[in-house]
Structure 1
């Protein structure tokens, strides 16, 4: 009788989506992440792109320890929407732009380890934002990949996004490169939406009042 050896099943590789670490070091850093994430998400609505915040970015298949968690990353030519994590070999695209909200405690990692990893990945632009101005006096410093090496961006203009970046207090403000129009931040969007709704309500009330007056005169406003 011929025996057969049992076939060992390969152990599936697990790629965790969280590590129990806090999202950000301080409220200022957290708020800067959330606002940047939402402004860029709104800006890229309708395009084949996604914006992710504080999700693991896995860059080596089969090696789940080889990962980083960018504060905000923009990836083009992928399906829009969120992910629990991002695996480059599954999506087929490397992030085009990455933002890190930096501080003195993360300075070395941001300027050495992450900067080197992002260069090697081919991330076109890398932006460091120091909300409190603790080690970057101007608070904002960008880098653009050129000949596989990052060079400082002098004018704070993102050629990848088509946006000019500026510092407003402890946040990054974004201006369209074509029109100079400033992109609204989440609270400003809420206020603008509320004002538009109130304007529409006033227009409706005026139209209804006019229709009532016409009916009182025996005129059918629908005629």
Structure 2
């Protein structure tokens, strides 16, 4: 919910006009920036509205920061940051985005010092008077030249979008949704209400908040671990089969070698038997010849 008051001529700190800023030297500018408070007062703040107000902001902030960081684009995403436009009453939007700027931490956004204003704002409304967000801020943010402004009603679970038709326009044109989605030309994303929060989409891919991203990483990690375990089991099975195949081949080799040894021994035995028979036959023939010779000599 936007921080503001309807008082006129209040004593709340304001940034100097752009003309006054341009007349200042660097040292005086630094003093002005340092002097502007980095917080808003209790009178400027809306009453706390619990998780229904806080959670949508934090979830959207995390989703946008993660998305642009992964894309390598420098985009500043802030929440309830005091914003000082030249000579204007400060305000602290629930969520703000400035494109293509350094993303370091800030305590406030001073337009003259940063060199540019806000590109995108979203207010989260839960209870109370909707005029603060739906009328006053619609008029003020358009007058300040903020290109797009969204209102998420956490009580009604509705989303409204407003856009400046041209950079020079200072009155918003209300956006029309397409099947419940609004197109943010500034962010290059689509928005819609999902459950009790706002979901951002990049094409058909939803932007994940921190918890969802961690859950997705954990699921991915568990999946990788399971695949690693499966691969390890397959490797063990393959190694076991290789060992069994090697053992089987070794056994076959040993069996072939044993058979070859037996065949060689049998061949040797046969050769020896053949040699023995030949020797006996030779000796028998010699004996017969000797007997025949003796018989002749007797006659």
Q: Do Structure 1 and Structure 2 share a fold, with TM-score over 0.5? A: yes
1:121 and 1:103 map into 2 onto residues whose CA distance is: 25
Paired residue for 2:265? Answer: none
Paired residue for 2:217? Answer: 193
2:204 and 2:104 map into 1 onto residues whose CA distance is: 27
Kept after mapping to 2: 8 A contact 1:76/1:93:
no
Residue 20 of structure 1: how far off its partner (Å) = 6.0
Paired residue for 1:221? Answer: none
Kept after mapping to 1: 8 A contact 2:163/2:175:
yes
SS of residue in 1 equivalent to 2:40: coil
Paired residue for 1:143? Answer: 162
Kept after mapping to 1: 8 A contact 2:144/2:170:
no
CA RMSD in angstroms comes to 2.6
SS of residue in 2 equivalent to 1:143: strand
Residues 1:212 and 1:110: Cα distance change in structure 2 (over 3 Å)? same
Decide which moves more: 141-150 or 81-90: 81-90
Paired residue for 2:151? Answer: 128
Residue 157 of structure 1: how far off its partner (Å) = 1.5
| 1:92 is aligned to 2:115 | yes
Residue 209 of structure 1: how far off its partner (Å) = 4.4
Query: Alpha-carbon deviations, 1:65-111, whole Å to 9, x = none?
Result: 83110000110121124322111112212111100001442522223
Paired residue for 2:294? Answer: none
Residues 1:104 and 1:189: Cα distance change in structure 2 (over 3 Å)? same
Kept after mapping to 1: 8 A contact 2:49/2:127:
no
1:131 and 1:170 map into 2 onto residues whose CA distance is: 7
Give the number of aligned pairs: 201
Query: Alpha-carbon deviations, 1:10-49, whole Å to 9, x = none?
Result: 7944122223657852211110111111111112112121
Match of 1:70 among 59, 75, 93: 93
Residue 51 of structure 1: how far off its partner (Å) = 0.6
Structure with higher strand content: 1
1:43 and 1:122 map into 2 onto residues whose CA distance is: 25
Residue 129 of structure 1: how far off its partner (Å) = 0.6
Matches within 5 A, 1:43-122: 43-45=67-69, 46-60=72-86, 66-122=89-145
1:129 and 1:67 map into 2 onto residues whose CA distance is: 21
Structure with higher helix content: 2
Residue 114 of structure 1: how far off its partner (Å) = 2.4
SS of residue in 2 equivalent to 1:40: helix
Kept after mapping to 2: 8 A contact 1:99/1:129:
yes
Match of 2:194 among 165, 168, 181: 168
TM-score (norm: length of structure 2): 0.60
Q: Which has the larger radius of gyration?
A: 2
1:212 and 1:113 map into 2 onto residues whose CA distance is: 70
